[in-house]
C-alpha cells in the first residue's frame, strides 16, 4: 500500500493536517469523537480526536470539543483551506459502558452543534451506538474507511447494522 510509511496516528487531544496524497490519518475511537474535515478544492484535510464535550475551565484545551474543532479548522485555514468549502465527517461517540453517563452521545451532539454554528457542512459519519471504531482518513480526498470493533461489531466483510451515510468505506 502507498501509505505504509505515511500513516499518522492521532491520539486523544491531538490533530493532524496534511495536503500529501500519500498520507493516511488514523485513530481508534470509543466514546471520543473524531472530526475529519477537508477542503475538496485545495485538497487539504485533517482529523482531530477529542475526549469530552465541554471544557469547565480551560476553554483552549483541545481534549474538549470546541477547542479541538477550532484548532483543526484554524490549522486548515492557515494552510490554504477556505471555510465556505470545508466538509466534515464525524465518527465515534459510542456508549462504551452502559451503566455510566452517555458521554459518547454528548460528544457527538457537541461536535454536530459546533460545526453547525461554524457553518461547516457535515456530509457523513457514524456516531453513537455501542461499538468502538477504527478510522482511516485520506485528507486530500476526504475518503474514510471505518471498521467497527468489539464483541457486537459485525465482521469487516458484512454490512454494519447501522447504515453509514456518505462516502465511507467499511472494511
| Model confidence pLDDT, tens digit, residues 73-110 | 999 999 999 999 999 999 999 999 999 999 999 999 99
Q: State the CATH number of the domain containing residue 140.
A: 3.30.1330.200
Q: Locate all alpha helices (DSSP H) within 1-150, ordered by sequence.
A: 65-78, 103-117
Supply 20's cell numbers: 500529501
pLDDT band at residue 162, thresholds of 50, 70 and 90? very low
Taking the CB of residue 56, how many other CB atoms lie within 10 A of it?
8
CA dist 25 and 151 (Å) reads 25
Query: Are residues 44 and 79 in contact, defined by beta-carbon separation less than 8 angstroms?
Result: yes
What are the backbone dihedrals phi and psi of residue 123, each rounded to the nearest 5 degrees, phi first? -95, -20
Task: State in Å, rounded, how far the first CA of the chain is from the last one.
Answer: 15
32 as an active site residue: the answer is yes
- Number of structural domains found in the chain: 1
Domain range for 37: 2-170
Query: Are residues 87 and 121 in contact, defined by beta-carbon separation less than 8 angstroms?
Result: yes
Q: Which residue among the candidates 32, 36, 42, 128 is catalytic per the annotation?
A: 32
Length of the chain: 171
Q: Locate all alpha helices (DSSP H) within the chain, ordered by sequence.
A: 65-78, 103-117
pTM comes to: 0.83
What's the rounded mean pLDDT across residues 46-52? 93
Amino acid at each position: 500500500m502507498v501509505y505504509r510509511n505515511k500513516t499518522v496516528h492521532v491520539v486523544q487531544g491531538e490533530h493532524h493536517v496534511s495536503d500529501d496524497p500519500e498520507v493516511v490519518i488514523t485513530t481508534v475511537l470509543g466514546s471520543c469523537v473524531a472530526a475529519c474535515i477537508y477542503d475538496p478544492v485545495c485538497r487539504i484535510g485533517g482529523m482531530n480526536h477529542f475526549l469530552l464535550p465541554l471544557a469547565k475551565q480551560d476553554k483552549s484545551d483541545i481534549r474538549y470539543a470546541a477547542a479541538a474543532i477550532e484548532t483543526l479548522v484554524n490549522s486548515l485555514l492557515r494552510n490554504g483551506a477556505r471555510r465556505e468549502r470545508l466538509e466534515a465527517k464525524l465518527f465515534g461517540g459510542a456508549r462504551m459502558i452502559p451503566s455510566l453517563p452517555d458521554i459518547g452521545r454528548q460528544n457527538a451532539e457537541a461536535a454536530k452543534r459546533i460545526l453547525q454554528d461554524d457553518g461547516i457542512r457535515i456530509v457523513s459519519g457514524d456516531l453513537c451506538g455501542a461499538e468502538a471504531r477504527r478510522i482511516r482518513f485520506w485528507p486530500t480526498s476526504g475518503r474514510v474507511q471505518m471498521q467497527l470493533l468489539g464483541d457486537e461489531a459485525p465482521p469487516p466483510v458484512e454490512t454494519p447494522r447501522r447504515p453509514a451515510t456518505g462516502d465511507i468505506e467499511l472494511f
